[in-house]
């Protein structure tokens, strides 16, 4: 990674005031730690950052031990104004008033003379209210979910800084800081922020690194990630507190659901596939919900280091099956639609629905497709 993009980042931040921080929908710990850290880094410089993620996410509760950013939004509502413009060259406007009822807002315009020619009106969007967009841990714009789907123009009208460690990154920013040798996006930020890191920022960054490396135990752990983690601890990060909250303190309902899945876990040696199924009764008895599934599949992955593919199927209703697929090699998640078409990539997992099949039939079909695709 060269120094030029880093210098460009420093320069564009100096020119900005209102800054958006985007992270993937269904964000993992690296995304959350990076976003929180960048927020506090910018706030220290008296800038006005806002974190935006596509939907409220359950994973955030695991990071309640970290300081919480004040500006965290699930939509970009109000990000730009729309202008109703009237050409007054030939006919001036003498009065404008509005009237609001339950379903609409009416604007009454009184011309100086005669009637109004509709051709004198135009309705145009104003500039976005933000000076800069920073995307973190997002290999492409689609990973951001509805934030991108509902606001694609912002990526063409506002400068974008794209910071990531995935080899599959599309380099969609005007400034791209991509380091595929890094264990995590938090590791990249640790190097960028070194002189500005305080206790809050260090705890956020170390939480992301620990989450991405599974507490320095997986293959993404490198000498550099260990070196930077030591630097973060020198800056005030509490490693033991982070590990306790991320790995040793789990809500009882999640532990119950995890236990019920593990009791039914199956293994395919050829595919290195671990999979299980959740019934409606499992959710009821454990007092858990489908939104807990991404957390559970990650826990299964952490406990099966030899696994390469992880699958959970569950009944959303008696007539509908949903599922989640996760790969140990995160780059292979882009191939998941070949296994079960019509789903959606959400961060490092693939979520899908299947109609008209029971769980047993869905299992057979998915496993057969995995063998055909040779994604191991």
Asked if 15 and 133 touch (Cβ cutoff 8 Å), the reply is no
| Statement to judge: residues 34 and 105 lie in one domain | no
| Statement to judge: residues 340 and 300 lie in one domain | yes
pLDDT tens for each residue of the chain, 376 residues long: 556 999 999 999 999 999 999 999 878 899 999 999 999 999 999 999 999 998 766 557 778 899 999 999 888 876 677 777 888 887 888 888 888 888 888 888 888 887 877 777 777 776 788 999 999 999 999 989 889 998 999 999 999 999 999 988 999 999 999 999 999 999 999 999 988 999 999 999 999 999 998 888 878 888 999 999 999 999 999 999 999 888 777 778 888 888 888 888 999 999 999 999 998 888 888 888 888 888 889 888 888 888 999 999 998 776 788 999 999 887 888 888 889 898 888 767 888 998 888 888 889 999 999 888 765 5
Q: Give the CATH number of the domain where residue 339 resides.
A: 3.10.310.30
Q: Is the dihedral of CA 322, 245, 51, 231 positive or negative?
A: negative
Q: Among residues 204, 227, 246, which one ends one of the domains?
A: 246
| Statement to judge: residues 70 and 178 lie in one domain | yes
| Statement to judge: residues 206 and 225 lie in one domain | yes
| Statement to judge: residues 28 and 72 lie in one domain | yes
Q: Among residues 246, 262, 293, which one ends one of the domains?
A: 246
| Statement to judge: residues 272 and 332 lie in one domain | yes
DSSP string, 2-20: -SHHHHHHHHHHHT-SEEE
Torsion angle of the four alpha carbons 21, 24, 27, 28, in this order, in degrees rounded to the nearest 10: -100
Q: Who's near 210: CB < 8 A, 6+ residues apart?
A: 29, 216, 229, 239, 242, 243, 246
Domain membership of residue 105 as a residue range: 80-127
**Tokens matching residue 86:** 């009237």
| Statement to judge: residues 287 and 213 lie in one domain | no
| Statement to judge: residues 134 and 122 lie in one domain | no
| Statement to judge: residues 121 and 136 lie in one domain | no
In whole angstroms, give the CA distance from residue 48 to residue 33.
18
Q: Among residues 246, 261, 285, which one ends one of the domains?
A: 246
Number of domains in the chain: 3
Asked if 177 and 190 touch (Cβ cutoff 8 Å), the reply is no
| Statement to judge: residues 72 and 185 lie in one domain | yes
| Statement to judge: residues 93 and 142 lie in one domain | no
**Tokens matching residue 119:** 């051709």
In whole angstroms, give the CA distance from residue 171 to residue 126.
27
| Statement to judge: residues 213 and 233 lie in one domain | yes
């Amino acid at each position: 990674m060269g120094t030029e993009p880093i210098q460009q980042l420093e320069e564009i931040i100096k020119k900005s005031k209102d800054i958006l921080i985007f992270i993937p929908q269904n964000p993992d710990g690296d995304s959350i730690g990076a976003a929180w850290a960048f927020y506090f880094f910018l706030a220290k410089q008296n800038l006005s950052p806002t974190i935006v993620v596509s939907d409220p996410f359950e994973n955030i509760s695991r990071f309640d031990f970290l300081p919480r950013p004040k500006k965290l939004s699930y939509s970009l509502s109000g990000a730009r104004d729309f202008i109703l413009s009237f050409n007054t060259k030939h006919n001036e406007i003498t009065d404008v008033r509005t009237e609001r009822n339950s379903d609409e807002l009416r604007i009454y315009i009184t011309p100086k003379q005669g009637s109004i020619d509709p051709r004198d009106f135009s309705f145009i969007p104003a500039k976005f209210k933000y000076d800069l967009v920073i995307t973190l841990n997002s290999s492409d714009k689609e990973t951001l979910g509805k934030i991108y789907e509902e606001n694609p123009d912002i990526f063409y009208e506002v400068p974008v800084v794209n910071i990531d460690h995935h080899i599959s990154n599309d380099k969609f920013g005007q400034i791209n800081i991509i380091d595929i040798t890094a264990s995590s996006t938090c590791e990249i930020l640790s190097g960028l922020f070194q002189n500005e890191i305080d206790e809050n920022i260090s705890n956020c960054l170390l939480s992301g690194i620990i989450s991405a490396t599974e507490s320095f135990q997986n293959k993404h752990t490198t000498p550099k990630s260990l070196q930077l983690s030591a630097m973060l601890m020198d800056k005030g990060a509490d490693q033991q507190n982070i590990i306790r909250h991320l790995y040793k303190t789990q809500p009882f309902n999640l532990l119950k659901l995890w236990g019920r899945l593990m009791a039914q876990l199956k293994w395919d040696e050829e595919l290195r596939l671990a999979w299980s199924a959740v019934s409606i009764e499992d959710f009821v008895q454990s007092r858990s919900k489908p939104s807990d599934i991404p957390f559970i599949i990650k826990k299964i992955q952490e406990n099966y280091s030899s696994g390469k593919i992880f699958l959970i199927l569950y009944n959303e209703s008696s007539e509908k099956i949903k599922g989640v697929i996760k790969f140990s090699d995160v780059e292979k998640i882009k191939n998941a639609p070949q296994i079960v078409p019509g789903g959606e990539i959400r961060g490092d997992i693939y979520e899908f629905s299947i109609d008209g099949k029971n769980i047993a039939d869905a299992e057979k079909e998915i496993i057969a497709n995995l063998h055909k695709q040779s994604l191991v």
